[in-house]
Amino acid sequence: MRNMDVHLIELADHPDAVDAEPFAGPDHPIRRITRAKAFGEPWTEADSARVQEVFDGLAPEWSGNHVEPVKAAPISDALDRGRVPIDGAWLEVGSGTGAGARVLTPVVGSLICSDLSAEMLRHAPDLAPRVRADASKLPFPDASFDAILLVNMLLFPVEIDRILRDEGVVVWVNTLGDQTPIHLPPSDVIDALPGAWTGTTARAGTGFWLTARRSF
Ligand SMILES: C[S@@+](CC[C@H](N)C(=O)[O-])C[C@H]1O[C@@H](n2cnc3c(N)ncnc32)[C@H](O)[C@@H]1O
């Protein structure tokens, strides 16, 4: 274990950690959008409509191709080593076709899955309540959840901060590490969230996870 800085602790790689094949480098257009939205560029109706159209179209193929063990590895490792409130109330944002729900459902206290794309939700297994919602304005009261999981999902820091309880944990996973199209490194997630946060991160499978909690 080593302290990357006072806000982020990097644990040893999980024994199964490997580098992802080159896929989406720093110039990938989705990488630019991910960073811009996380750091305050407004999310517009046009953004929302375009993303829905894209993922509605991808849903039938996604449900077959994106549930492999390599995707589960960093999620499972975050649950094992990330000091998460396992018995608490969990929300997955951008839950897609259920890669996260398959790992979470057997072990967490409760789970709600949410996604913008009706087709992604329709192709997800019936493991938890599925709520169609835009992550930029989620239909949940303030401080509703003990933990919020985002797997290869855009970060809307203000909404995440709003619906997370004071002692809650954000679990950020990129299943292809820095080759993930929707990618932010752990330090940027910490920086983008409002206020002061501390994180723990590690590599597992082809990806990495971050668990972030508010600093008091
Ligand atoms: C790259 S996919 C990842 C899906 C799933 N987490 C997985 O790993 O298989 C991104 C998901 O985020 C959803 N998404 C993108 N923007 C969103 C938004 N503003 N609100 C809610 N969901 C959104 C998409 O519909 C899609 O299902």
Evaluate: CB of 122 within 6 angstroms of ligand 1.
no
CA-CA distance, 102 to 1, in Å (whole number)?
29
CA-CA distance, 58 to 53, in Å (whole number)?
9
| pTM attached to this predicted model | 0.96
Q: How many residues does the chain have?
A: 216
CA of 205 to the centre of ligand 1 (A): 20
Evaluate: CB of 91 within 6 angstroms of ligand 1.
no
CB count within 10 Å of CB 12 equals 11
Residue 56 pLDDT level (bands cut at 50, 70, 90):
very high
Evaluate: CB of 67 within 6 angstroms of ligand 1.
no
For residue 192, give its domain range.
2-214
Query: So what's the pLDDT on residue 187?
Result: 97
Evaluate: CB of 116 within 6 angstroms of ligand 1.
yes
Query: So what's the pLDDT on residue 71?
Result: 79
Which pLDDT tens digit goes with each residue over 125-152?
999 999 999 999 999 999 999 999 999 9
Query: So what's the pLDDT on residue 6?
Result: 58
Which pLDDT tens digit goes with each residue over 163-200?
999 999 999 999 999 999 999 999 999 999 999 999 99
* Among protein residues, the one whose CA lies closest to atom 11 of ligand 1: 94
Question: How many Cα atoms sit within 13 Å of 205 on the Cβ side?
Answer: 20
The percentage of the chain sitting over the pLDDT mark of 90, rounded to a whole number, equals: 89
CA of 2 to the centre of ligand 1 (A): 32
CATH number assigned to the domain comprising residue 91: 3.40.50.150
Chain-wide mean pLDDT for the chain? 94
Residue 1 pLDDT level (bands cut at 50, 70, 90):
very low
Q: Domain total for the chain?
A: 1
Are the C-beta atoms of residues 171 and 150 closer than 8 Å to each other? yes
Which pLDDT tens digit goes with each residue over 2-41?
444 459 999 999 999 999 998 888 889 999 999 999 999 9
SS3 call for 119: helix
